[in-house]
Every structure is written in structure tokens, then in C-alpha cells.
Amino acid sequence: MGQLKQMLREQILAEMTYDRQMSDEEIAELIDRRMDACMEEQPEEFPQTLGERLKLHRELFDSFRRLDILQELVDDPRVTEIMVNGPDQVFVETGGKIGRWEKSFESREQLEDLIQQIVSSVNRIVNTSMPLADARLSDGSRVHVVLEPIALNGPILTIRKFPEPMTMERLLDYGSISPEAADLLKTLVAARYNIFVSGGTGAGKTTFLNALSEFIPPGERVITIEDAAELQLNHIENLVRMETREANAEGAGAIGIGELIRAALRMRPDRLIIGEVRGKEALDLLQSLNTGHDGGFSSGHANSVKDMLSRLETMVLMAADLPLAAIRSQIASAVDIMVHVSRMRDKTRKVTAIEEVDRFENGEIILNPLFTFREAEKAGDGFGNTGKVEGSLEQIGTLKHREKLRLAGYRV
């Protein structure tokens, strides 16, 4: 079947029209014609049952218009991540567990064609001279590509799915946050507090930003800036979405998050949402939050709230040689609330800390913890158990800075 499919695909490619974009219907009709011709020319090698023929037709169509053999994984709501380690190895994450998929690509060329199809759809470039690329699928799923010579075992393709926008109600149902913490965050978002979300890889930072965004009043003008557009603010009508651009083959034309932040400030935003800061753009973020643009969100990789503050200092130093005290003062003025999300050992994702940035004093940023996750100790094995994580997000402090609440009309 593999050889037959490859032969049909080559014949279809030879007949395709390249002077214009062919529609899905035209592609399907072309596949039908080639399959009919093949059935007459090589009846002994052609599938005999209707089910096998429909399967061949679907696989051929997916290879031209969708994601080839990976399409069924993308369509499966149980699959949350797809990891392709070269043409022979495909791994999937389902229910927090990773396992090897029984199918694989028939050739390296088949996988490379799929990668080029994905990145070209969002105007990105990836090749041996530029072997790294970030992209997205039409449903918002995140895509990362690594090619040779960096990838030693063949083209690497990772797809992290975001099938549905996450809401705070669903996070409450999953036990990822407590009702008291959710109510506080709802009030803080409406009162235009600047909120920064930290967490490790796969902890759910983007998911939590999406949940927070539902508390933004629908009448505001919101600008989102991301490396690959993932945030889904469906209730905001006056929404501007911007995405970074990588350099072209000549190494020119790159547009980073910092440039987009500066451009966004000229668009009269009510709020800026920066998907993630990783480098010197952190200085542009702090400057925007410190110049009257309240109510902003952003996120970053870190192991804890304190680690995130240290990383922000390092990222600002990448942009400018400033005294550490000046940087910390800027951070303390710009960021109001820090939220840390974690992926627990049972693969669940939870908010584990909410802390208020209290003040800058004696060269240090002083934090005011508001909520912390306390794990319940299980009888007999203490905290060393490896089963389901049980515990609660407990309130341990109260908000000190209430000026924005007063300005927003809240009784404090």
C-alpha cells in the first residue's frame, strides 16, 4: 500500500496546476481520477474493499491539504502533544502519558514535505541554513521544527495542541485553582493590575493567560504580541493580534517582540498582552507597563516567582547595562501580581502561588504572598508518594496595594 500511495502521489503532483491555488474540491477530483486510472491499469495491486479505497483517498488528500499521517492525531481530542523524532519515530502524549505511536512516515522526504507545508502556511522559512522555526496550525496549535544539521536523527517536529480556549470555570472544575483565588484575579484584571505568569515548560502558562483574558471587559482595545499566535480572546471585538517575524534567507527582516511592543504603544491600546518574554524585550515590556499602560499580562519560564524576578533582571541586562537596583525598581513598579503555575508529578497543572509585588526596599524586591498551594500529606508515605497530588491553594495573605481597586470603583 505504501508504494502504491507514493506512486499515486507523484502522479497527482505531476498533474497539479501551479499557476493558481487549487481548491479542496479540485484536489479531491484529481485524486479520484488518478485512483480510477490506477484501478484500471493495475487492478491486482489496487485495494479491493471500499473501506481500503476510502482510506487511501483520505490519506492522499491529507498529504496535500492537511497534515498527512498526523492528521488523525490532530483530530483526536485526547492527544495533547505530538513529537516526531525523525521519520521512523512518532510519540504522542495522551492523558499526560507519552507513548510511541504505531505509525511512522514512509520516508524522510514525506516528513520534510509536511514540515515545509506547515511553515510556509504562516510565512516562515526553515532549511539547512536556518534549521529552527516556530509556527502554528490553523487551530492555534504550537509547532516547533528542528532540521539537520542540528537534528542528528532526522527532521524533528513537535506539535502542542490547544484544541479549545481554556476558561477559568474549567480550571476550577479541574482543581487547578481555588474559587477564592479566581475571584481575586477576576477583580484584579478588571481593576487593571499588571499580572505576570511564570512556570516551567508545559505548565500551562499560555492556557492560564487565556483564562485570565476572559475577565477583560469586552469594550476595551487589546493588542496581543506573540512569537506564534496562540492566545484566543474571542469576546474582544477591538482586538489586534501581532506575531514576530524571523529573518529571511539573507538574514534580514527580522521583527522581534521588542519592536512589536514599541509599535503597539502607537496604536492606542487599552491593554497589552505579551505571550512570553525570553530576552531583551523584557525591558520594552517594563517600560510599557511603567508609562501608563496598565492591565497588561505576560509570561515567562521559571521555577518559582522569585526565580522569575531574577530572570527578568537578567533579560533586562541583555538589553541595557543598567544598575541592578534600577532594574529591580523598574520591575517593582511595573508588575503588580505574580502567578506561578506548575505541572505536578501526576501530570496535572495547578496554580501553586499568587504573590503581590509589594515594594522595592534596600535594593531588594519585597513580595507579599497571597496564595500558596499546600499538598496534603497522605498517611503512611508522607510526601514521597507518586500518585495523585492532593492539596489546596490556600490564602495566606491579603492585598496591600489597593489604589487601582479604588480607581476602578471597588470598595476596599
CA dihedral 92, 97, 98, 104 (to 10 degrees): -40
Interior angle at CA 253, CA 206 and CA 230, nearest 5: 15
Question: Residue 342 and residue 304: Cα distance in Å, rounded?
Answer: 9
Q: Quick check: 112 and 148 in contact, CB under 8 A? A: no
Supply the pLDDT for residue 305. 96
Supply the pLDDT for residue 247. 75
- Grade residue 239 by pLDDT with cuts at 50, 70 and 90: very high
Residue range 292-298: average pLDDT? 92
Supply the pLDDT for residue 115. 92
Query: Given a cut of 90, is residue 184 above it in pLDDT?
Result: yes
Supply the pLDDT for residue 215. 94
Q: For the ranges 9-18, 44-53, 387-396, which has the lowest average pLDDT?
A: 9-18
Q: Quick check: 88 and 110 in contact, CB under 8 A? A: no
pLDDT, one tens digit per residue, over 72-117 is 898 898 898 999 999 999 999 998 789 999 989 888 988 998 999 8
Query: Given a cut of 70, is residue 385 above it in pLDDT?
Result: no
Supply the pLDDT for residue 30. 82
**pLDDT averaged over every residue in the chain:** 87
Supply the pLDDT for residue 89. 94
pLDDT, one tens digit per residue, over 300-345 is 999 999 999 999 999 999 999 999 999 999 999 999 999 999 999 8
Q: Quick check: 131 and 151 in contact, CB under 8 A? A: yes
Of the chain, the percentage scoring pLDDT greater than 90 comes to 51
Pairing mode of beta strands 239-243, 97-100: unpaired
Q: Quick check: 365 and 332 in contact, CB under 8 A? A: yes
- Grade residue 71 by pLDDT with cuts at 50, 70 and 90: confident
Whether the full predicted model's pTM is greater than 0.85, yes or no, is no
Q: Quick check: 224 and 238 in contact, CB under 8 A? A: no
Residue range 25-54: average pLDDT? 78
